[in-house]
Amino acid sequence: MASITVPHGHTEHKDYIHEADGIWSWLTTLDHKRIGLMYMVTTMIFFAAGGFFALALRLEHWTPTQTIMTAGTYNKYFTLHGAIMVFLFIIPSIPAALGNFMLPLMIGAKDVAFPRLNLASYYIFLAGAGLALYAIVFGEGVDTGWTFYTPYSIKTGSSVVLVVSGVFLAGFSSIFTGLNFIATIHKLRAPGMTFHRMPLFVWATYATSILQVMATPVIGITMVLLAMERFLHIGIFDAKLGGDPVLFQHFFWFYSHPAVYIMILPGMGIISELIPVFARKPIFGYRAIAYSSLAIAAISFLVWGHHMFVSGQSDFANIVFSLLTVLVAVPTAIKIFNWTATLYKGNIKLDTPMLYALGFIFLFSIGGLTGLFLAALSVDVHLTETYFVVAHFHYVMMGGTVMAMLGGFHYWWPKIFGKMYPEMISRVGWFFVFMGFNTIFLPQFWMGAHGMPRRYYNYPPQFQLAHQISTVGSWIILIGFLIHTFALLWSLKYGAKAPNNPWGGKTLEWTVESPPTMHNFHEQPVVTAFPYEYKSERV
Amino acid sequence: MLKRLGILGVLNVLGANAYASMINLPQASEMAARVDSLYDFLFWLSVVALTGTTIALLLFVKKYHRSQKGRETAYILGSHTLEITWTVIPLLIMLFVFAWGYKDYVFSRLDPPGAVEVNVVGRQWLWNFEYPNGRKTMNEFYLPKGKPVKLILTSEDVIHSFFLPNMRTKTDVVPGMYVYLAFTPTLVGDHPVYCSMYCGTGHSDMLATLHVLEPADYETWLQTGKAPGIVPAAFHGSEGDAKPLSQAEKGAAVAASKGCIACHTADGTKKIGPSWKGIYGTEEALEGGGKAKVDENYIRESIMTPTAKIVKGFPPSMPPFAGLLNDEEVNALIAYIKSLK
């Protein structure tokens, strides 16, 4: 981004990592970059934990009956895999980690609007996670699935209340972060940065924040009602007491469907940053991409019922939700076409972040197209509650969000740590992740279409080969993640020192030091142009 | 090859049904063929869309890669024409897909007059079926070919889901409310039923079998409880076999078909209930004190009224089987349990 910065004579400022020493300086920091980094480390630990459960589940499915664990353990493991990945990893990962770090830098601010609230959000998140972990380690665990459907979640003996309290608390962290970002984007943009000069990652974060603030209270209330049902038998969800178990599903998905977009929108934001930088072209259709984020956010509130086509809700509701659901595919398709068109007549460099961006477009397209199968009423009746759904949302959440996150990590790694990661090793890591991912989940579409139900400990023997291919995929992707982990950690000690702007980016974070100083900008930057102003150049 | 499949796919969409669907399952109801047609249309639509996008990506990456020298990059901010094109075309396709799914869904939800009605009750972890003439079955049920049927379903405990993949239909089965499934079976034979809504430890063992019979055979079954021509998993149709099953073998078949094995194992592993291995002749400590010797009477009582005596350390969660198993079946089960030393 073009900006006018008055040259500053001296550079004795230390970077944010070395500004203060000692663990206490981290635990009490109000700096958005440090808080972002703490989120990054925390959510990566949860990603590893959720991944461990996934690997164990895949191994269990090597044979159609018991392989390594009992049915009870299996049920707890798939619940923990889902709950950890959704509530403790994927929802906070991009917004709270990369968003916290990059948002103020990208809009030319010193920090977020409410730094103390930002730190409090982190501790609330830790408290929520702690409650859930306590239930897992010292309690009975939880075996309801991450969806906590009633009345099973009312009847089961596992530690449901502790875990839903954890979700409740973590939800407040999400709400506060959303509030903070909305205020930051509205009030702290640098002079000259109009809304239409904001980087698209900021737009995506803005749409995400609105969803977080508006949707998350619903899951909070739902979790409280579930806990009250278990303790006080108030009879809202329990059919035996005159309650309606399907009502829980409405409440749950009223949050959890927008939450799907809380998970994917920031990923789309990252892709919108990566593509123009590595193609040396202005993003194609900036406004279409920016507004489609808001359109997705708005429509996402109106489609929750598509999770419930066979739940017993009315046929009329099914029809309306099906219609609204096919509409949400339109702004998503627009983004895919715009990203692809940006590559046209560019000057493309295939570094790891770009490999992830291209991988994202491919995998997310599969996720989106298979979503169409599930939006069509008659086909959904056959496919819902099978592995087809499992494969579909993994293509969206993992093929989409996780790939975007990994692209973002590699893209901003030089900025965050001031070190270059080893490019060739990371490309190899990408290859394993991409191949492993498809090996895991492509067979699952086939399985689901042929009737393999979800959450099955024992399964019909005709699915064994497909399950085994899928399990082998989980080992391939593990190799990819290990390579990435090794390469990134290696770079912290041995990586080449990163210049301020290793990729030739035009957004404001690339105008400051790598890593940035505590106050980000030495002088107030003034924005005079669009963030992807890549002029025509001779190759 | 792909091209050939593509053309045949279009034919199939047009109703010609010229090639096997991408879903390689028996089409056991009229609905199944309809679902498969839309599924195949979406499949090929996805293949075309994904191939198109991927080819564009790869082509651009190759052509405009940094190594391709001697050209100029373009400064393009967007194009309203393109933007509108790729908004309107997907929108039309999606509305078309919606309309197709809507049309078939409405067809599947029609409540056919004069349908054969069967009441279905799900409970952890088995299915009970009750016919208008009072006949009851468990985990196996029978329907006539070519006649509309209506299953009226509810649950006694948690939410289950009644999934008939060969009919391409399912519904959640919710406590406190009735839901229905209406379809016309078109294929004689055995069709699997899965519980597809997670319902606890025995979820993946909550299986049932639908036997679709010729209408005449169905009438015979309805009157006599015996289905000519097919040998169901339970032994009561096996009289015609060349080599009769032993009592214990029959018992093993009953244990499998009536859902016992969802909670009881034959190998000593503890599940929801005690394992049967070596249990015969032992003394079991009971909840609330006392002991009981495992003999024929104890086993019979534990099947018919399970809550009469609860073995220490196990939940009182077994449903009563009184009225659901006949004497022959109970005898076979006892023989089977005895044989597990």
| Predicted local confidence at residue B19, as pLDDT | 56
Are B35 and A381 within 8 A, CB to CB? Answer: yes
Are B101 and A376 within 8 A, CB to CB? Answer: yes
Task: For residue range B84-134, list pLDDT tens digits in order.
Answer: 999 999 999 999 999 999 999 999 998 888 899 999 999 988 999 999 888
Are B105 and A323 within 8 A, CB to CB? Answer: no
The H-or-E segment that residue A446 falls in is helix A423-449
Which member of B72, B194, B269 has the closest CB to residue A537? B72
Reduced to 3 states, what is the DSSP secondary structure of residue A419? strand
Determine the distance from the C-alpha atom of residue A393 to the mean position of all C-alpha atoms in its chain, rounded to a whole number. Answer: 12
| Predicted local confidence at residue B18, as pLDDT | 46
Task: For residue range B295-332, list pLDDT tens digits in order.
Answer: 888 888 888 888 888 888 888 878 888 877 888 888 88
Q: What is the mean pLDDT of chain B?
A: 86
Handedness of CA B178, B179, B185, B190 (dihedral sign): negative
Which member of A279, A326, A455 has the closest CB to residue B198? A455
Are B46 and A369 within 8 A, CB to CB? Answer: yes
Which member of B66, B86, B179 has the closest CB to residue A348? B66
| Predicted local confidence at residue A106, as pLDDT | 97
Are A361 and B179 within 8 A, CB to CB? Answer: no
Are B98 and A457 within 8 A, CB to CB? Answer: no
| Predicted local confidence at residue B236, as pLDDT | 42
Q: What distance in Å separates residue A312's CA from the closest CA in chain B?
A: 6
Which member of A336, A347, A459 has the closest CB to residue B64? A347
Residue keyed to tokens 């199939």: B12
Q: What distance in Å separates residue A186's CA from the closest CA in chain B?
A: 26
- CA nearest neighbour of B57 among A503, A481, A278: A278
Tell me which chain B residues have a C-beta less than 8 angstroms from the C-beta of A377.
Answer: 101-102, 104-105
Are B53 and A71 within 8 A, CB to CB? Answer: no
Spell out a b/e string for A436-469, using b for 16 or more CB atoms within 10 Å of the CB, else e: bbbbbbbbbbbbbbbbbbbbbbbbbeebeebbeb
What is the pLDDT confidence band of residue B164, given thresholds at 50, 70 and 90?
A: very high
- CA nearest neighbour of B270 among A378, A347, A253, A66: A66
What is the average per-residue pLDDT within B194-203? 94
| Predicted local confidence at residue B310, as pLDDT | 87
Q: What distance in Å separates residue B246's CA from the closest CA in chain A?
A: 26
Tell me which chain B residues have a C-beta less than 8 angstroms from the C-beta of A155.
Answer: 157-158
Are A322 and B101 within 8 A, CB to CB? Answer: yes
pLDDT in tens, chain A (539 residues): 445 555 554 556 789 998 888 899 999 999 999 999 999 999 999 999 999 999 999 999 999 999 999 999 999 999 999 999 999 999 999 999 999 999 999 999 999 999 999 999 999 999 999 998 898 888 888 899 999 998 999 988 878 999 999 999 999 999 999 999 999 999 999 999 999 999 999 999 999 999 999 999 999 999 999 999 998 999 999 988 889 999 999 999 999 999 999 999 999 999 999 999 999 999 999 999 999 888 888 989 999 999 999 999 999 999 999 999 998 888 889 999 999 999 999 999 999 999 999 999 999 999 999 999 999 999 999 999 999 999 999 999 999 999 999 999 999 999 999 999 999 999 999 999 999 999 999 999 999 999 999 999 999 999 999 999 999 999 999 999 999 999 999 999 999 999 999 999 999 999 999 999 999 999 999 999 899 999 998 88
Q: Is A140 on the interface with B (CB under 8 A)?
A: no
Q: What distance in Å separates residue B297's CA from the closest CA in chain A?
A: 31
The H-or-E segment that residue B46 falls in is helix B30-63
Which member of A149, A341, A378 has the closest CB to residue B82? A341
Which member of A365, A382, A535 has the closest CB to residue B75? A535
CA-based nearest residue in chain A for residue B75: A536
d(CA A282, CA B78) in angstroms, rounded, equals 9
Q: Is A287 on the interface with B (CB under 8 A)?
A: yes
Tell me which chain A residues have a C-beta less than 8 angstroms from the C-beta of B22.
Answer: 449
The structure's pTM equals 0.88
Query: For residue A538, what are its two tokens?
Result: 């001779």
d(CA A502, CA A193) in angstroms, rounded, equals 23
| Predicted local confidence at residue A283, as pLDDT | 95
DSSP annotation of A402: I
Task: For residue range B131-159, list pLDDT tens digits in order.
Answer: 988 888 889 999 999 999 999 999 999 99
Residue keyed to tokens 């018992």: B251
Cβ–Cβ contacts within 10 Å for residue B52, how many? 12
Handedness of CA A452, A453, A458, A460 (dihedral sign): negative
Handedness of CA A156, A159, A162, A168 (dihedral sign): negative
Report A:424-453 residues touching B (Cβ under 8 A).
Answer: 449-451, 453
Q: What distance in Å separates residue A72's CA from the closest CA in chain B?
A: 6
Which member of B61, B74, B192 has the closest CB to residue A358? B61
Are B49 and A322 within 8 A, CB to CB? Answer: no
| Predicted local confidence at residue B122, as pLDDT | 95
Residue keyed to tokens 């046209």: A344
- CA nearest neighbour of A2 among A529, A534, A538: A529
| Predicted local confidence at residue A3, as pLDDT | 53
Interface test with B, best of A382, A438, A454, A506 (most B CBs within 10 A): A382
